[in-house]
Amino acid sequence: MKTTLPIKGMHCASCAIKIERALSKVEGVASAHVNYATEKATVEHDDGLDVALLHQAVHDLGYKTGDEENPNDHAHSSKPTAHSSSHMAHGDDMKTAARRTIIAFLFAIPSFVIATFGIEIPGDVAGRNPAEWLSGILATIVFLWPALSMHKTTFKQARRFTAGMDTLITLGTGAAIIFSWWQIFAGGHLYFETAAVIIAFILLGRYFEARSKGKAGEAIKKLLELGAKTAHRMGENGAVEDVPIDTLRVGDRVLVKPGEKIPLDGEIIEGSSSVDESMLTGESVPVGKSAGDMVYGATLNAQGALTVRITKEPGDTVLAQIVKLVEDAQGQKAPIQKLADKISGVFVPVVIVVSIVTFIIWFLATGDLNASIIPAVAVLVIACPCALGLATPTAILVGTGRGAQNGILIKSGEALERARGIHTVMFDKTGTLTEGKPRVTDLISSHLDSTVAEKLALTGSDPDRCLLAIAAGLEASSEHPLATAVLHEAKARGVKPVESSSFTSVTGRGVRATLGKTMPALLGNPVFMAEEGIGLTEVSDDLARLQEEGKTVVVVALNGQATGLIAIA
């Protein structure tokens, strides 16, 4: 069984590593992976394991957890989803980070100005200018207020004999503040503004970090929004009521009107239409659907009304699986990230040791406590391993997210990392890489009988214009994208469509109508022509050639004979 826990309070990759180790030690856990960028822990464990134990393991380290999250269950939900809750949480993180940053700078800047420009206030307090006292008070406020959450995390970790990025910040800035208060009475140099400015800029960095995480999470949010929110459920007596998607169950019948999204995966039990499945398959042309065919949630019903029997719960649909794939990819670690995590795991203790060694060396070399403490503090505050732990997971988060937005699903961080070596991409389908705007490319009118032009009052026109006028007349009442392409070509050439009547659209095949007053006509794909008993022998060579070029070919038949071809791409 797999459980995903949103985690709050992580500030570096070492935090993620500590949580991973704690979760892995819980009895019944097979594996645990914590992604610092997505702020989520993915735990595989025995079915009988109490999930509360996982939450407790995280809480014991001083971090917070959200509710168990499974985005699949909500891929089509009309209610706030687990991911949308996570997205809102990112918004709250941004607001909190922004507020702390503003407060820190409001107090840090005056302290910095006083120290840098030697500003003095008339008077004397314990042998010091009041401005120095003011600088110390302002810096201490920054240390105790905006940075308080860092210190809390530091002390929680210390009780468990662990350390993280917050430990470095607390030790470094705390040492600078305490040392400066000591110096204010001893008459030495002060470093209040150093601590205040360092905290302010670290908080600013965390604000930008929260902002980047929030933006990167937009990809999943947009995927979730692809699905319909409500459906027209049909009762036993035929009555139709609008209900939220998450109330639908397998076996329910829903009515899908033209122009609406298919609510969930299902089977058509009545009606025929063409369905735009481009969001799933990339195909630029809608696919003909009729009774017995499968349709998929979030695809668009283009024409006729459909009655669909639901066959998949919201968490089992194709869209839900796409969301899960992107979520899993964002949560997995690339090989380079695993290396960075190993380094981060020992980074903080090493930095603390280096800081202590730095202090000892400087003190032994100079004998000056003041000259020794500042380099030691600098080592602590400069060495925060933010970039080390954040760069790779953020790159995966943003990369997989942008890929999903553009219809490219990346299975894992490892796949994304290996993609840098790709030099050739091969596609096995035609008609997929398009602009989504079909246009006429070829007109084959060599088989058009001149007597037909006379009967339809098309005398004086060249064969191509005659064929286009006939096709435009047949397609005049159609809403299909290929029909739009034919009509657009006719308009561009100034060709007037032939008058038609008795129009009938055959979903996934073509159209039939009567031209003039008595001439039966068909326009459609080769399958449609075969079903109608139209021989294609005379146009077979041109048909094969155009199809080999990857073009969609429609056949025009008059009086039971194929008389022309129109290629569309």
Residues 6+ apart with CB under 8 A from 147: 100, 104, 169, 170, 173, 199, 203
Average pLDDT across the chain, whole number = 85
Classify residue 442 by burial, with Cβ atoms within 10 Å: 0-12, 13-18, 19+.
middle
Query: Residue 236 pLDDT more than 90?
Result: no
Of 26-40, 129-143, 258-272, where does mean pLDDT reach its minimum?
26-40
Residue 517 located in a structural domain: yes
Mean local confidence (pLDDT), 237-260:
92
pLDDT-above-70 percentage for the chain: 87
432 domain residue, yes or no? no
**Residue 379 falls inside a structural domain:** yes
Instruction: Kindly tell me the burial class for residue 314, based on how many C-beta atoms sit within 10 Å of its own C-beta (0-12, 13-18, 19 or more).
Output: buried
Residue 244's DSSP bridge partners are: 230
Report the C-alpha gap between 499 and 456 in whole angstroms. 9
For residue 264, name the pLDDT band (cuts at 50, 70, 90): very high
- Domain extent, residue 482, equals 440-568
Q: Does residue 139 contact residue 175 with C-beta atoms inside 8 Å?
A: no
Question: Sign of the C-alpha dihedral, residues 475, 478, 482, 485?
Answer: positive
From the number of C-beta atoms within 10 Å of its C-beta (0-12, 13-18, 19+), residue 304 rates as middle
User: What pLDDT, in 10s, does the model give residues 405-464?
Assistant: 777 778 777 888 888 899 998 876 555 666 778 899 999 998 888 778 788 888 667 899
Question: Region 474-491: what's the mean pLDDT?
Answer: 90
Q: Check whether residue 118 and residue 214 sit in a common domain.
A: yes
Whether residues 199 and 258 share a domain: the answer is: no
Last residue of one domain, picked from the residues 271, 296, 328? 328
For residue 508, what is the DSSP state?
A: T
Question: 257 and 392, same structural domain?
Answer: no
Say yes or no: 299 and 392 in one domain.
no
Question: What is the mean predicted confidence (pLDDT) over 143-161?
Answer: 89
Considering the candidates 47, 124, 242, 428, report the single residue annotated as catalytic. Answer: 428
Quick one: 217 and 343 in the same domain?
Answer: yes
Catalytic site includes residue 428:
yes
Residue 511 lies in a domain: yes
Strand order in the sheet with 300-301: 287-289, 273-276, 300-301
Residue 397 has pLDDT above 80, yes or no: no
The answer on 52 and 6 residing in a single domain is: yes
If you average pLDDT over residues 527-537, what whole number do you get?
94
Identity at 133, one-letter amino acid code: W
How far apart CA 205 and CA 170 sit, in angstroms, is 16
Highest mean pLDDT among 11-20, 158-167, 244-253: 244-253
Which residues does 36 contact at the CB level (< 8 Å), separation at least 6?
A: 10, 12, 13, 15, 16, 389, 390, 393
Which whole number is the average pLDDT over 343-364? 87
**Does residue 413 form part of some domain?**
no
CATH of the domain at 312: 2.70.150.10
Q: In this structure, is residue 418 part of a structural domain? A: no
Q: Do 96 and 209 have their domain in common?
A: yes
Q: Do 388 and 317 belong together in one domain?
A: no
Do 105 and 212 fall into the same domain? yes
- pLDDT value at residue 337: 67
**Does residue 506 belong to any structural domain of this protein?**
yes
Whole-angstrom Cα distance, residue 448 to residue 471?
12
Rounded to an integer, the average pLDDT of 311-326 is 86
Domain count, the chain: 4
pLDDT of residue 78: 46
> Could you tell me if 258 and 314 lie in one domain?
yes
Q: What is the pLDDT of residue 142?
A: 97
Q: Which of 293, 311, 328 is the last residue of a domain?
A: 328
The reply to whether 407 falls in a domain is no
For residues 9-34, average pLDDT: 86
Give yes or no for residue 283 having a pLDDT over 80. Answer: no
Same domain for 322 and 345, yes or no, is no
